[in-house]
Amino acid sequence: MKIGVVNVGSRFSRERGEAIEAWFAANIPDGSIQIVIHPAAYQKHGHFGGDDAARTNAFVEFANDSRLDSVWFARGGYGACRIAEAALPRLTGVARKKHYLGYSDAGSLLALLYKAGFPHVAHGPLASDAVRDDAAAWRALNWLKSGDAASLEPSLLTDPRPAVAFNLTILNELMGTPLEPDLGGHVVMIEEVSEPLYRVDRMLFHLTHQAGMRRCAGIRLGRVSDIVENDPDFGLTPEEIVRYWCQRSGIPYLGVADIGHDSGNKVVPFGRRP
């Protein structure tokens, strides 16, 4: 298996790229799983890891490369929504067969690939983060290799409905745009990091009022971590906030999800499981 790593968002450091390569050298010395990082991943353009054209080109090149089995997003950090629409029409049948894995900002691109009918798109560990934790790295690789059920978010093993997972901010911002997939009948899992709870509440006001969300099967809440302090205390927990907006909007609240901005982040393949 050969995996291509691309960066579609903010800057990616060479040190983190070398950490990915070092993990593979140490843990898969027989080369049975190979990793290749697109050289454009280290470009710099203001906030971004290269300008929009460079990031688009690198993603398209790896997606269309028949020598690669999977595309793994290097890291999160804002930028994917700028390039998703331009990338899609350039993707070939080769790209359609690949597995795509990542989350956080990369969710913008995952959403559009899923909307376009790509069958192997999943929310799960990013390359740079995964190699900080062996379990996370193997969880990602085992899903990329074989769709290993042990890598999956546990509710997927018993709930047959199609699912998606997103960072709350990312999902909130892609609703109503060409990146929004059909969420009808889907279990929608959300997670968040580094936001104060008043913003989580405001995003759920917006999200649960969107026509596309009103058709989903329900919301599962992943971890909301590194919460920015609300002064005074907000007065509701993240789960109470989600329950409130679910009740108000008529969207079923389905319980927790084992996803989050952390090494425990489980894999959520988009759509129906085989």
| Binding region for its own copies (CB under 8 A) | 10-11, 44-48, 78, 81-82, 169, 172-178, 197-199, 201-203, 205-206, 209-211, 230, 232-236
Nearer to its own copies, 66 or 237 (CB): 237
Nearer to its own copies, 156 or 200 (CB): 200
Closest CB 209 distance from its own copies, rounded Å:
4
Nearer to its own copies, 31 or 184 (CB): 184
Strand ranges inside the chain, DSSP E: 2-6, 34-37, 70-73, 99-102, 121-123, 163-167, 187-193, 218-225, 253-256, 268-269
Q: Cα–Cα distance between 135 and 128 in angstroms, integer? A: 13
Find the angle CA(63)-CA(66)-CA(69) to the nearest 5 degrees.
Answer: 70
Q: Quickly count: other Cβ atoms within 10 Å of residue 211's Cβ.
A: 10
Closest CB 61 distance from its own copies, rounded Å:
23
Residue carrying structure tokens 């089995």: 69
Nearer to its own copies, 3 or 190 (CB): 190
Q: Quickly count: other Cβ atoms within 10 Å of residue 151's Cβ.
A: 25
Closest CB 250 distance from its own copies, rounded Å:
13
Closest CB 72 distance from its own copies, rounded Å:
23
Nearer to its own copies, 93 or 232 (CB): 232
Helix 134-146 vs helix 14-27: angle between axes, to the nearest 10 degrees?
Answer: 70
- The per-residue DSSP string of 95-158 comes to HHHSEEEE-GGGHHHHHHHHHTT-S-EEE---HHHHTTSHHHHHHHHHHHHH--GGGB-GGGGT
Please say whether the beta carbons of 176 and 150 come within 8 A.
Answer: no
Closest CB 234 distance from its own copies, rounded Å:
5
Nearer to its own copies, 35 or 87 (CB): 87
Closest CB 63 distance from its own copies, rounded Å:
21
